[in-house]
Structure 1
Amino acid sequence: MTISGCGLSVLSLLISIIIYVCLGKLNRIHRNVRINLMFAMLMSYGLYLTSDVTLWEDILEGEEADWVCMGLGIASHLTFLAMTFWMFAECLFVFSNATAFFESDVKLRTYYIIGWGIPSIIVGVTAGALYDRYGGQACWLDTDGGLIWTLVGPAIMVFTVNILLLILSTRTMLIAEKMELRYKDEQKLTFTKASVKSAIFLNPVVGICLACRYLCHADVIFEYQFVVLAGLQGLLTFLFYVVWNPEVKHAWKKGKEDEDDDDWVSTTRVRYPGTTTSVGDSAKPGDMSREQSFAGGSHESRDGQFTRSASQVSFYTLNSPTPDDDVYATFVAGQKIAYKS
Structure 2
Amino acid sequence: MFSHMFSQSDSLMELLDLVCVSVGLVFFTLALLTFALCQWSPGVNNVARINICISLLLAHLLFLLTQQFLSLIRPLQVLCAVISGLLHFLFLSGFVWMFIEAVLLFICVKNLSQISSKKREVLSSGFLCVIGYLVALVVVCVSMGLVPEGYGSEYCWLKHDKGFIWSFLGPISVLLGLNTALFVMIVITLNSTLKKLNAEVSQMKQTKIMVFKTLAQFVVLGCPWILGFFTNGSKVLEILFLILNSQQGTFIFLIYCLFNNEVRQQYRKFFRCLCSGPKQL
**Structure 1 and Structure 2 fold alike (TM over 0.5):** yes
Give how far 1:18 is off: 0.5
1:106 counterpart = 2:120? no
Q: Gapped runs of 5+ residues in structure 1?
A: 257-295, 297-341
Which structure has the bigger radius of gyration? 1
Contact 1:89 1:115 in 2 (8 A): yes
Structure 2: distance between partners of 1:106 and 1:212: 33
- Corresponding position: 1:119 with 2:130: no
Is 1:3 aligned with 2:18? Answer: yes
Q: CA deviation at 1:141?
A: 0.7
> What letter is aligned with 1:55?
F
Aligned match of 1:199 in 210, 214, 227?
214
Post-superposition Cα deviations, 1:235-292, rounded to whole Å, max 9, x if no partner, equal 2111111111356458x49xx7xxxxxxxxxxxxxxxxxxxxxxxxxxxxxxxxxxxx
> Secondary structure of 1:219's match?
coil
CA deviation profile, 1:169-193 (whole Å, cap 9, x unmatched) = 2232233233334x33x33323322
Tell me, yes or no, if the aligned pair for 1:47 and 1:76 is still in contact at 8 Å: yes
Q: Relative contact order (C-alpha < 8 Å, sep 6+): which is higher?
A: 2
**Equivalences for residues 141-220 of structure 1 within 5 A:** 141-181=158-198, 183-184=199-200, 186-212=201-227, 218-219=232-233
Partner of 1:49: 64
Tell whether 2:67 aligns with 1:67. no
Indicate if the aligned counterparts of 1:215 and 1:223 stay in contact, CA closer than 8 A.
Answer: no
| 13-22 or 144-153, which deviates more | 144-153
Contact 2:31–2:249 (8 Å) recurs in 1 = no
Please state whether the residue corresponding to 1:30 is helix, strand or coil. Answer: coil
Q: Partners in 2 of 1:133 and 1:27 — Cα distance? A: 45
Identify, as 1 or 2, the structure richer in strand.
Answer: 1
Q: Which residue of 2 aligns with 1:134?
A: 151
**Residue identity opposite 1:93 in structure 2:** L
> 1:170-222 CA deviation, whole Å, 9 max, x = no partner?
232233233334x33x3332332222111212212222222355677x52635
Summarize deviations over 1:285-333 as a string: whole Å, max 9, x none: xxxxxxxxxxx9xxxxxxxxxxxxxxxxxxxxxxxxxxxxxxxxxxxxx
The Cα of 1:15 is off from its aligned counterpart by 0.2
Answer whether contact 2:63 2:87 (CA < 8 A) is retained.
yes
Q: CA deviation at 1:77?
A: 0.5
Provide the aligned C-alpha RMSD in A.
3.1
The AA in structure 1 aligned to 2:210 is: S
Gap change, CA 1:212 and 1:228, over 3 Å in 2: same
Residue number among 18, 27, 38 corresponding to 1:12 in the alignment: 27
Residues 47 and 27 from structure 1, CA distance in 2 versus in 1: closer, same or farther, beyond 3 angstroms?
farther
Question: Is 1:209–1:229's contact at 8 Å kept on the other side of the alignment?
Answer: yes
**Match for residue 85 of structure 1 among 92, 96, 116:** 96
CA distance in 1: counterparts of 2:24 and 2:240, whole angstroms: 14
SS state at 1:50 partner: helix
CA distance in 2, matches of 1:195, 1:28: 11
Give the whole-Å Cα distance in 2 for the aligned partners of 1:110 and 1:92.
14
Query: Which secondary structure state, in structure 2, belongs to the residue aligned with residue 141 of structure 1?
Result: coil
| Contact 2:70–2:155 (8 Å) recurs in 1 | no
1:23 aligned residue: 38
Q: Distance in 1 between matches of 2:263 and 2:205?
A: 12
Alpha-carbon distance, 1:41 to partner: 1.6
Q: How does 1:227-238 map to 2 (within 5 A)?
A: 227-238=242-253
Q: What residue in structure 2 maps to residue 97 of structure 1?
A: 108
Which runs of 5 or more residues in structure 2 are unaligned? Answer: 1-15, 113-118, 270-279
Q: Is the Cα contact below 8 Å between 1:29 and 1:108 reproduced in 2?
A: no
Identical columns (%): 21
Question: How many angstroms apart in 2 are the aligned matches of 1:225 and 1:209?
Answer: 8
Change (3 A) 1:148 1:26: farther
For this pair of structures, how many residues does the alignment match? 250
Structure 2: distance between partners of 1:248 and 1:86: 22
